[in-house]
Amino acid sequence: MLNRRNFLTAAVGVAAATGLAACAKKDEGGSTGSGGGDGKIVLGFSQVGSESGWRSANTDSVKEAAKEAGYNLKFSDAQQKQENQISAIRSYITQGVDVIAFSPVVVTGWDAVLKEAKAKKIPVVLTDRSVETSDESLYVTLVGSDFTDEGRRAGKILEKVLEKAGHKGPVKIAQLEGTTGAAPAIERAKGFKEVMDADHADDWKIVVSQTGDFTRAGGKQVMAAFLQSNPDIDVLFAHNDDMGIGAIQAIEAAGKKPGKDILIVTVDGVKDGFIAMSEGKINAIVECNPLLGPQLMEVVKKVKNGETVERWIKTKEGDFMQDQAKAALPSRKY
Ligand code: GZL
């Protein structure tokens, strides 16, 4: 998992990795990479799946940016299965692409296939989500958000939501977690807990927490079960808008008012999330920007040319309270 130390890893280490990779690639020749004849950079991209509005926007951004950059993009959708991502990466290695990029569905289990890419001197760029590995040379950089910070931001914006709602006394919180083992699920929960432990050890309590797998169906199903076991929930913290939107359906089916009887904070900032917020059903959204395509293509070109890149290229994002939703909607890009 990336941390401050990794982030500060000197460019020297990265340059060495990319330099070696890039030089060796040039020595290789004959691959179906840019040496394949048309001179285009060949990028192999393995996507998590199409589980949420965020993911769809991320896929569109990658495809549009690759087209704009004139790259030959080989794209695969893993349907949220790690084995499908590993197969896709192996296929890109066999095809001899110039660079491999992927958003790892979970943080563990990647060393073997990334070592195969390294053996063939194909540089790997992580997008969106990070991996846990002891061998930092297995990938060149991560282009993506700081999920732990998103969790902290969710905790801090919940303070504003509670104050605006005039909530006094203890706060019972339900947490809809993202995909089990995924970096955003692990790190958003960690950041939110940091705020709870530091500032609300006496008044906030997570009374129930379970994965909804980042999907609307998962959010609806799990929230319905939450309401059965914990009918007096005050707050829902959902790790993405889609689970929050599914939960809204369950809350309404239980005869409660989302955004009033149960205050809701979510992460992502997709259009449907802003619409729900403008309808008063979500109280605040912590943005997680999926439009990584342009940054990714820039990095791919630098990596292909053996240039130095930072170990973690973070995306810029904001936070939105309910009263900002209507004004923000027209300019939302995803
Ligand atoms: C976050 C991304 C998460 C989104 C979900 O960068 O990995 O996966 O928050 C998506 O909507 O499914």
Candidate from 61, 240, 267, 312 with most ligand 1 atoms within 8 A of CB, to mutate: 240
Residue 240 Cβ inside 6 Å of ligand 1? The answer reads yes
For residue 44, report the phi and psi dihedrals to the nearest 5 degrees: -95, 120
In this structure, what token pair is assigned to residue 255?
A: 């005869």
CATH class of 147-288: alpha beta
- In whole angstroms, give the CA distance from residue 164 to residue 293: 37
Report strand pairing: 263-268 vs 235-238.
Answer: parallel
Distance of CA 224 to the CA centre of its chain: 25
Q: 55 CA distance to ligand 1 centroid (A)? A: 6
- The pLDDT of residue 162 is 98
Q: Using N-to-C axis directions, what is the helix angle for 53-69 and 241-253, rounded to 10°?
A: 150
- In whole angstroms, give the CA distance from residue 43 to residue 320: 35
What is the per-residue DSSP string for 22-35?
A: HHHHHHH-SSSSGG
Candidate from 47, 51, 52, 266 with most ligand 1 atoms within 8 A of CB, to mutate: 52
Q: Which helix (H) or strand (E) holds 38?
A: none
- The pLDDT of residue 316 is 85
Count how many residues are written for the chain: 334
Q: 240 CA distance to ligand 1 centroid (A)? A: 7
Burial (CB < 10 A; 0-12, 13-18, 19+), residue 119, is exposed
Candidate from 128, 148, 267 with most ligand 1 atoms within 8 A of CB, to mutate: 128
The domain spans of the chain are 25-144+290-315, 147-288
**Which residue in 56, 64, 184, 57 sits closest to 130, CA to CA?**
184
Sign of CA dihedral 103, 109, 112, 115: positive
Residue 148 Cβ inside 6 Å of ligand 1? The answer reads no
- The pLDDT of residue 38 is 79
**Which residue in 297, 161, 144 sits closest to 235, CA to CA?**
161
**Which residue in 44, 38, 165, 47 sits closest to 98, CA to CA?**
44
**Which residue in 2, 6, 14 sits closest to 303, CA to CA?**
14
- Ligand 1, atom 3: closest residue by C-alpha: 184
Catalogue the E-assigned strands of the chain: 42-47, 72-77, 99-102, 124-127, 141-144, 171-177, 204-211, 235-238, 263-268, 284-287, 312-314, 319-321
Q: 189 CA distance to ligand 1 centroid (A)? A: 13
Domains 25-144+290-315 and 147-288 share a fold: yes
Q: 36 CA distance to ligand 1 centroid (A)? A: 34
> Superfamily for 25-144+290-315?
Response regulator (3.40.50.2300)
Q: 130 CA distance to ligand 1 centroid (A)? A: 12
Q: Where on the phi/psi map is residue 255: left (φ > 0), alpha (ψ -120 to 50), or beta?
A: left
In this structure, what token pair is assigned to residue 285?
A: 């959204």
Residue 145 Cβ inside 6 Å of ligand 1? The answer reads yes
176: which strand partners?
A: 210, 238
Q: pLDDT for 126-168, tens place per residue?
A: 999 999 999 999 999 999 999 999 999 999 999 999 999 999 9
- In whole angstroms, give the CA distance from residue 242 to residue 67: 28
Atom of ligand 1 nearest to the CA of 54: 11
Q: pLDDT for 53-83, tens place per residue?
A: 999 999 999 999 999 999 999 999 999 999 9
Residue 214 Cβ inside 6 Å of ligand 1? The answer reads yes
Q: 234 CA distance to ligand 1 centroid (A)? A: 25
Atom of ligand 1 nearest to the CA of 214: 12
Q: What is the dihedral of CA 164, 167, 170, 173, to 10 degrees?
A: -60
Segments in the chain below pLDDT 50: 1-2, 4-31, 35
